[in-house]
Structure 1
Amino acid sequence: MMAALRPSLPHDDDNWAFELKWDGVRAVAYVRADGLELISRNDKDMARSYPELRALTGMVHEPVVLDGEIVALRDGRPDFGLLQSRMHVQRPTDRLVRSTPVAYYVFDLLQHGDRSLLAEPYTTRRRALEELDLNSAPVFTPPWWQGGGEAVLAASIEQGLEGVVAKPLTSRYLPGRRGPWIKVKNVRHQEVVVAGWTPGEGRRADMIGSLILGVYDDHGLRYVGNVGTGFTETNLHELADRLHPLEHADSPFDTTVPGPVARTAHWTEPELVGEVAFTEWTGDGHLRHPSWRGLRPDKQPEQVRRD
């Protein structure tokens, strides 16, 4: 179940639950005594990438289905850049797991034993989740608050967190749908489809200078700008390795691309999804001051639409 992006929180506070928004990878966990599946938004099982989360199998006495966020922490706060070093690794070494451990922050319980909780209200699901007492590393159940949304949002800003999610107290869980949940972000992020690159100059000659970005709408893939900042040298080499095999002679866009971009573009098949931080959308629908955050292997290109 997804949340819709909104510029502000609801005013009828007492009818809503407020949770902090965690900057990580969404995962639905199917937990049984004999195994664990961690299913991403594009229906991929990520359990092999996060072997430390197999601890979940010994933390519950009956099979459960949980919803939550996989995060990597730096100074006690989720750090998406740090999580990048784990997201693309199918079989991480023991050294990588020790150096960059992850945690699973659980915020919903969808099934407990043979009992489905999908039709139950939010408050019933949360009470049942808290009774599982999932609060030892690497799995935690973060708090929620009834009312006081502005105070929760202020606390998220003070702690340098991504934002707040608001959920009606009576809301059922609607799998795969964008229901009545809403999210308010402190920093604007946008998923993007990588559709090509332009060559670098100066010290980045012979490397990627910027990535050409798009999002889908009802008319196809639409150009939304280029991003040339936020990369490490390692990022640039990894992106080059991923993009060169996808190079294609023709533009994948269904809209016009500005001439200066098109003249130097190396087009690719639109198969890679990434994420950028940015300040605002311009009047012509482009990202203003985007900065690269990383690839999103948990997303399908066709899912990428403007938030």
Structure 2
Amino acid sequence: MALTPPIEPMLAQAWPALPPDRALPGGLAFEKKPDGYRALLFTRAGHAFLQSRNGADLTPAFPDLAAAALALGRPLVLDGELVVVQNGRLHFGALQARARHRGRGAAEVTVDRPAHLIVFDVLETDAELIGLPYRERRSLLEGLFADGLLVSPFTLCPATTDRAVAEDWLDPAWGAAGIEGVVVKGLAQPYRPGHRDWIKVRNRMNCIGCNSS
């Protein structure tokens, strides 16, 4: 059965530090957490829909991403972080400014402030995938990039099972580049819409006054 928007994204609970290895089912995977808008992208034949974390329709504000989704030519549901790069870093203010435009204004700002979707999960290809463990969904997602189906403005979210690498991503220098911290996922976890079953650890530059996503 095809997934129909809006759906609740799977969420993360805040922890002060990286959890122990057995904290989540199957062992741990670590992903960079970009500073952007959580977004789910639905593509169907001749139709694309970009959904916010709260279920709002972001498609009119990001026609460049909608056009890229239509060009894929196949059904997909992707989960990721919507970002805008400015001056060599992820710029949340520029993203907010883009989100306010509609119609001709939205099309005009795509030239100077193109949007990207940093993708960290695939929930549907030719079939619904949310019941599969994370490791299998991640492998399928990596295949979409390796096969050249997903290219710019889509970017594969960096992920690792190496705790030392994840610890490095918590360095404040990553915060200056627009990386808020690390999201920790269980390799055996299915995708559970609306459940706060992942873990999020903020880097020391972004650990105060931030919303969970």
TM norm. shorter chain > 0.5:
yes
Identify which of 91, 101, 105 aligns with 2:114: 101
Distance 1:41 1:155, change over 3 A: closer
Corresponding position of 1:89: 101
**Could you report, residue by residue, the CA deviation over 1:248-274 in whole angstroms, capped at 9, with x for unpaired residues?**
xxxxxxxxxxxxxxxxxxxxxxxxxxx
**Could you report, residue by residue, the CA deviation over 1:145-173 in whole angstroms, capped at 9, with x for unpaired residues?**
1132x432323523332100000100110
Corresponding position of 1:188: 207
Identify which of 190, 199, 204 aligns with 1:172: 190
Corresponding position of 1:45: 57
Q: Is the 8 A contact 1:20 1:156 kept in 2?
A: no
Q: CA deviation at 1:41?
A: 1.7
Q: CA deviation at 1:79?
A: 1.3
Report the residue type matching 1:98 in the other structure. Answer: V
Structure 1: 4+ residue segments shifted above 4 A: none
Corresponding position of 2:162: 147
Corresponding position of 1:123: 135
Q: Is the 8 A contact 1:153 1:163 kept in 2?
A: no
**Could you report, residue by residue, the CA deviation over 1:80-130 in whole angstroms, capped at 9, with x for unpaired residues?**
1121211222333443111111101110011112x1111100000011111
How high is the sequence identity, in percent, across the aligned residues? 37
1:138 aligned to 2:156? no
1:65 aligned to 2:65? no
User: Which structure would you say has the larger RCO, counting Cα contacts within 8 Å and 6 or more residues apart?
Assistant: 2
Report the residue type matching 1:83 in the other structure. Answer: L
1:21 aligned to 2:70? no
What TM-score results when the alignment is normalised by the length of structure 2?
0.81
Corresponding position of 2:20: 11
Q: CA deviation at 1:16?
A: 0.4
Paired residues, what number? Answer: 190
In structure 2, distance between residues paired with 1:62 and 1:123: 23
**Could you report, residue by residue, the CA deviation over 1:12-37 in whole angstroms, capped at 9, with x for unpaired residues?**
17810000001000011101230110
Q: Is the 8 A contact 2:32 2:169 kept in 1?
A: no
| Structure 1 gaps, min length 5 | 192-274, 276-305
What TM-score results when the alignment is normalised by the length of structure 1?
0.57
In structure 1, distance between residues paired with 2:88 and 2:196: 30
Which of the two has higher C-alpha Rg?
Answer: 1
Secondary structure of the corresponding residue to residue 101 of structure 2 = coil
Aligned Cα RMSD in Å? 2.2
